[in-house]
């Protein structure tokens, strides 16, 4: 279902109930660009830490506009053993709400625009009929403005134009406006003494209107209703009506309701995101880090500077996320999927050993045909992302005894993939862990090399030719990371470089330390040059803004839930690691790890659990506190405990 400004209001309740009834939903966004800084390949360095990656994306990607948002809801019908889908394709545009509202500027990147254009993207729909939106701060500012205007026309409060140095009251009318104001007062006196009901004043300036409000509220505190009206020529004039108190109150009430509706219209698409957030439903995306960042940035609050603060906000807005690209890149799928791009993945997940999921388009909704691809329409991409998730989830069911054809989106089998967002092009940190500390690879074999601008990759190959195979990740014109394949060569390479003049080599640890120093941050560093997991428990401004909404929502739980007695899955401490090694299923259905096969993956799988977060709760006696909890969580611990937001049916 295509949703524009014209249809949004009438569709909102349909959207909200689709979200409410859904088992899970998939999302996808289309943007006006990807990177306003260096090329994306440069931006996403293979040696980025999650902090660095977040910081780069925040700096270089948030000025683009998320202008198409796809949502596809999936509801499982037990009796028919199939999913019913409702796909929505929203066009989004920050149409200025009024003269006073923010006039958003956004960047377009010609390569992205060109790409979308080549896919038949309808820019006219975005710009002519896009649904407006406000973030939380803009929304409250607008609310305040309304409030202030109400107070002003009620004669309450301090009109903002009065300077702090001048005394309050109507004596401040500048000389050249005195005649004008006197004439207005005369007109009003005439109105009060004749049989007319209203009088329209001439159009005048905003300043003059303020003077009129101020003067009349002071001179005639009762019996008048004063209102600013725009005529056909867009000029504003004041209309004054004689009213008794009751009528005045009724008019005020009507006006208030009209304003509330205007305000809701202005909040626009953000209300959909609020509804998703409020539902607490599992939100699935494909390579969804940028989607999540943009969604929060555009509809909640400017992104916080620190990654940990971003994680906290994210968990507040989207308590359960799942990234199908990360899922497909992880065992047991890793070995079976050759290409994790969305379109290819969707095709492969229809073939053996996977099965195309049984889905049906809900009545009244346009059905997508995966044969005639409509890729890069956000609604379609969300739809096939959901299909990918179902195929992969169901595949996990084949390992159970007895095997199950359908695995619920609330199943424990899915949990290891929760809140882990795919990190593009980082070999040794495959994901950003939104609900806990990130994996911390040693990178003992990585050197940071600085050199003259003229150097090319071949120079680096030559320089390191004596130290075995290398991998080069460019940082900028004059520096790169060089990974040696043999750890014992690192010290030798360092020693060799001691007297070099044209280039300089640092260990990765030295590089990180220097970087950290430059950034003037106050994180503690361990003996091995690695940062102590700095997962903060102090809420910050951005998060607390969102947090307010979370609290309002009253029941926020990111804890897995009960009824796991039937689970016969591995109870190993790290279920995640199990997936990440070669699949070896025992007859009884338990998965065992095969350490011989986890040579390269093993390193990044050993998460450092200093903060007490365990990757998976396993299937011990269920506990609400198994997951790492931010302060926001802790504040609500009791609430979360008392309400079973997720009543997981016994599905396997």
Residue ranges in contact with a second copy by CB under 8 A:
32-33, 36, 39, 65, 93-96, 103-111, 113-114, 116-118, 122-124, 126-128, 160-166, 172, 174-176, 207, 452, 454-459, 461-462, 465, 469, 502
Residue 339 CA to residue 334 CA, distance in Å, equals 9
SS3 state of residue 420: strand
Residue 651 CA to residue 397 CA, distance in Å, equals 10
- Minimum CB distance to a second copy, residue 628 (Å): 38
The nearer residue to a second copy, 116 or 327, going by C-beta atoms, is: 116
- Minimum CB distance to a second copy, residue 38 (Å): 11
- Minimum CB distance to a second copy, residue 298 (Å): 12
The nearer residue to a second copy, 37 or 595, going by C-beta atoms, is: 37
The nearer residue to a second copy, 103 or 647, going by C-beta atoms, is: 103
The residue length of the chain stands at 652
The nearer residue to a second copy, 11 or 214, going by C-beta atoms, is: 214
The nearer residue to a second copy, 160 or 498, going by C-beta atoms, is: 160
Sign, CA torsion 254/256/258/264: negative
Residues 6+ apart with CB under 8 A from 207: 161, 177
DSSP 38: S
DSSP 439: P
Asked if the peptide bond before residue 610 counts as cis, ω within 30 degrees of 0, the response is no
Helix (H) or strand (E) holding 230: strand 224-230
**Tokens found for residue 400:** 């159970």
Residue 261 CA to residue 539 CA, distance in Å, equals 33
- Minimum CB distance to a second copy, residue 171 (Å): 10
Q: Which of these, 418, 442, 428, 422, lies nearest to 628 by C-alpha position?
A: 418
Only one residue has tokens 């259905």, namely 589
In 10 A of CB 204, how many CB atoms?
A: 17
The nearer residue to a second copy, 159 or 589, going by C-beta atoms, is: 159
- Minimum CB distance to a second copy, residue 274 (Å): 22
Helix (H) or strand (E) holding 77: strand 66-77
**Tokens found for residue 188:** 């009003």
Residue 129 CA to residue 402 CA, distance in Å, equals 52
- Minimum CB distance to a second copy, residue 498 (Å): 18
- Minimum CB distance to a second copy, residue 328 (Å): 21
**Tokens found for residue 585:** 């299923």
Q: Which of these, 428, 442, 351, lies nearest to 388 by C-alpha position?
A: 351
- Minimum CB distance to a second copy, residue 266 (Å): 13
The nearer residue to a second copy, 156 or 466, going by C-beta atoms, is: 466
SS3 state of residue 509: helix
Residues 6+ apart with CB under 8 A from 405: 81, 355, 394, 397
The nearer residue to a second copy, 79 or 165, going by C-beta atoms, is: 165
- Minimum CB distance to a second copy, residue 441 (Å): 24
- Minimum CB distance to a second copy, residue 584 (Å): 33
Residue 64 CA to residue 105 CA, distance in Å, equals 9
DSSP strand pairing (359-361 vs 82-91) = parallel
Kindly calculate the radius of gyration of the chain based on its CA atoms and give it in whole angstroms: 30
**Do 294 and 29 form a contact (C-beta atoms < 8 A)?**
yes
Residue 567 CA to residue 576 CA, distance in Å, equals 16
- Minimum CB distance to a second copy, residue 64 (Å): 9
The nearer residue to a second copy, 454 or 528, going by C-beta atoms, is: 454
The nearer residue to a second copy, 175 or 620, going by C-beta atoms, is: 175
The nearer residue to a second copy, 457 or 650, going by C-beta atoms, is: 457
Residue 411 CA to residue 649 CA, distance in Å, equals 9
From residue 546, how far is each of 20, 113, 314 by CA, in Å? Answer: 21, 32, 9
The nearer residue to a second copy, 456 or 641, going by C-beta atoms, is: 456
- Minimum CB distance to a second copy, residue 130 (Å): 9
The nearer residue to a second copy, 361 or 472, going by C-beta atoms, is: 472
Residue 311 CA to residue 433 CA, distance in Å, equals 8
- Minimum CB distance to a second copy, residue 122 (Å): 7
Residue 81 CA to residue 483 CA, distance in Å, equals 50
The nearer residue to a second copy, 111 or 650, going by C-beta atoms, is: 111
The nearer residue to a second copy, 74 or 481, going by C-beta atoms, is: 481
Q: Residue 237: what are its φ and ψ, rounded to 5°?
A: -135, 165
Residue 155 CA to residue 151 CA, distance in Å, equals 6
Q: Which of these, 524, 502, 505, 504, lies nearest to 513 by C-alpha position?
A: 524
Residue 393 CA to residue 70 CA, distance in Å, equals 22
- Minimum CB distance to a second copy, residue 461 (Å): 4
Residues 6+ apart with CB under 8 A from 457: 472, 474
- Minimum CB distance to a second copy, residue 22 (Å): 32
């Amino acid at each position: 279902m295509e949703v524009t400004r014209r249809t949004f209001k009438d569709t909102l309740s349909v959207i909200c109930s689709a979200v409410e009834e859904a088992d899970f939903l998939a999302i996808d966004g289309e943007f006006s660009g990807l990177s306003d800084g260096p090329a994306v390949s440069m931006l996403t360095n293979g040696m980025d830490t999650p902090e660095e990656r977040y910081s780069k994306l925040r700096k270089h990607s948030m000025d683009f506009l998320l202008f198409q948002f796809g949502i596809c809801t999936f509801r499982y019908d037990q009796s028919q053993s199939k999913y019913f889908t409702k796909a929505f394709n929203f066009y989004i545009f920050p149409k200025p709400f009024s003269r006073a509202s923010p006039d958003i500027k956004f960047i377009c990147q010609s390569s992205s625009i060109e790409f979308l254009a080549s896919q038949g993207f309808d820019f006219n729909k975005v710009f002519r009929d896009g649904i407006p939106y406000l973030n939380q701060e803009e929304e409250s500012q607008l609310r305040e403005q309304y409030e202030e205007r109400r107070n002003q026309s009620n004669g309450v409060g301090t009109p903002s134009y009065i300077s702090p140095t001048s005394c309050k009251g109507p004596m401040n009318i500048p000389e050249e406006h005195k005649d004008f104001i006197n004439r207005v007062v005369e007109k009003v006196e005439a109105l009060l003494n004749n049989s007319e009901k209203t009088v329209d004043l001439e159009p005048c300036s905003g300043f003059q209107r303020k003077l009129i409000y101020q003067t009349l509220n002071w001179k005639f505190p009762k019996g008048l209703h004063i209102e600013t009206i725009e005529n056909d020529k867009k000029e504003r004039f004041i209309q004054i009506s004689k009213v008794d108190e009751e009528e005045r109150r009724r008019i005020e009430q009507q006006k208030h309701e009209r304003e509330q509706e205007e305000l809701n219209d202005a909040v626009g698409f953000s209300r959909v995101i609020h509804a998703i957030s409020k539902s607490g439903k599992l939100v699935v995306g494909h390579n969804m880090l940028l989607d999540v960042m943009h969604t929060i940035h555009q509809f909640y609050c400017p992104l916080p500077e620190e990654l940990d603060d971003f994680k906290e906000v994210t968990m507040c807005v989207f308590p359960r996320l799942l990234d199908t690209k990360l899922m497909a890149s992880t065992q047991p799928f890793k070995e079976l999927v050759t290409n994790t791009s969305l379109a290819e993945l969707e095709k492969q997940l229809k073939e053996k050993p996977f099965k195309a999921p049984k889905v049906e388009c809900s009545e009244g909704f346009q059905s997508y045909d995966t044969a005639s691809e409509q890729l890069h329409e956000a609604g379609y991409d969300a739809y096939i992302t959901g299909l990918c998730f179902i195929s992969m989830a169901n595949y996990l069911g084949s390992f159970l005894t007895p095997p199950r054809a359908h695995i619920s989106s609330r199943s424990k089998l899915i949990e290891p993939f929760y809140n882990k967002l795919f990190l593009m092009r980082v070999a040794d940190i495959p994901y950003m862990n939104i609900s806990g500390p990130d994996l911390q690879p040693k990178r003992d074999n990585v050197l940071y090399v600085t050199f003259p601008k003229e150097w090319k990759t071949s120079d680096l190959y030559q320089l390191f030719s004596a130290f075995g195979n290398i991998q080069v990740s460019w940082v900028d014109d004059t520096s790169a990371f060089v990974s040696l394949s043999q750890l014992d060569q690192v010290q030798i390479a360092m020693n060799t470089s001691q007297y070099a003049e044209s280039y300089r080599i640092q260990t990765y640890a030295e590089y990180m330390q220097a970087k950290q120093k430059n950034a003037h941050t106050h994180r503690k560093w361990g003996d091995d040059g690695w940062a102590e997991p700095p997962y903060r428990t102090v809420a910050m401004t951005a998060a607390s803004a969102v947090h307010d909404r979370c609290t309002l929502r009253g029941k926020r739980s990111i804890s897995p839930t009960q009824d796991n007695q039937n689970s016969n899955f591995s109870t190993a401490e790290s279920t995640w690691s199990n997936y990440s090694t070669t699949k070896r299923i025992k007859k009884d259905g338990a998965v065992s790890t095969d350490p011989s096969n986890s040579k390269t993956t093993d390193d990044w799988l050993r998460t450092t659990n200093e903060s007490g977060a365990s990757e998976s709760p396993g299937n011990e006696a269920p506990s609400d506190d198994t997951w790492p909890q931010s302060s926001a969580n802790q504040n609500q611990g009791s609430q979360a405990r008392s309400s079973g937001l997720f009543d997981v049916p016994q599905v396997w």
